[in-house]
Chains A and B, each alone.
Chain A
């Protein structure tokens, strides 16, 4: 069955540290890829997305992600985190063949020490 894996459940970093959150999916076909962020007590918001083209995509608030097709990965990165990045981050995949089934990863909680 198709799935999305986020292996880091909870990441704790100090301010100014670099961040990389892993996302892997299991599906051999074409996908649309997303990263969403959920700040404490709020709903999910889009950070960035990849449909096609340049595999390195830039999103809001200095985040970027790289799609590596051979590794079925779409890792999220930020060179220098801030306390305000404390949130839960979700990777999501849309399977192009169905265009309707959306699979979310289990989420990674990011805590930033001031």
Chain B
């Protein structure tokens, strides 16, 4: 089954404790992206990747890091989480063949930083 998976789905942590949210897709998509969803603000792009070893900042990259060592995986790293990073996070992937196509979203990770 074609899908995007994220782990963990729920996470409660404390300020300053490094964490990683994993994202994996099995559709051989070139493009992967991370978003955060906050009430009234919609989805805001954090980072995206056009392919392996190619990453770039989205609209709200501060406090986040990513890596793309393999095509299928695109982890999101919070080196020193802060309470303002409490949010719902979505990973998404898409094919770039024939132009930029629809995004396939993961199930989301609800992060609470105390």
Interface size class of chain B, counting residues whose CB lies under 8 Å from the partner chain: 20 to 34
Give CA–CA (A37, B41) in the complex, Å. 15
Contact B103 A44 (CB under 8 A): yes
Q: Are B45 and A45 in contact (CB under 8 A)?
A: no
* Chain A residue total in the interface (Cβ 8 A): 24
Residues of B within 8 A of A107 (CB): 42-43
CA of A42 to CA of B106, assembled, Å: 9
A94 contacts partner chain B, Cβ-Cβ < 8 Å: yes
Question: B69-80 CB contact bits vs A (8 Å, 1 = yes)?
Answer: 000000000000
- B96 at interface, CB cutoff 8 A: yes
Q: Could you tell me if A49 and B102 are in contact, using CB atoms closer than 8 angstroms?
A: yes
Task: Bits for A66-109, please: 1 = Cβ < 8 Å to B, else 0.
Answer: 00000000000000000000000010101000011111111100
Q: Which of B31, B90, B102 contacts A34 (CB 8 A)?
A: B102
Q: A residues within 8 A CB of B44?
A: 104
Query: Contacts A43-B108, A44-B105 hold; do A100 and B42 have CB atoms under 8 A apart?
Result: no
User: In the complex the two chains form, is B105's CB within 8 Å of A43's CB?
Assistant: yes
Least CB distance, B62 to chain A, in whole angstroms: 17
B58 — which chain A residues lie within 8 A by C-beta? 101
Q: List 30 A-B contacts (CB under 8 A).
A: A6-B42, A9-B40, A32-B99, A32-B100, A34-B102, A36-B103, A42-B107, A43-B106, A44-B103, A44-B105, A45-B105, A49-B102, A51-B99, A90-B42, A92-B103, A99-B96, A99-B99, A100-B31, A100-B50, A100-B56, A102-B33, A102-B103, A103-B45, A103-B59, A104-B35, A104-B42, A104-B45, A106-B40, A106-B41, A106-B42
Extra pairs beyond A34-B102, A51-B99, A101-B58 (15, CB < 8 Å): A32-B100, A42-B107, A43-B106, A44-B43, A44-B90, A44-B92, A44-B103, A46-B102, A92-B103, A99-B96, A99-B99, A104-B35, A104-B42, A106-B41, A106-B42
Binding site for B on A (CB under 8 A): 6, 9, 32, 34, 36, 42-46, 49, 51, 90, 92, 94, 99-107
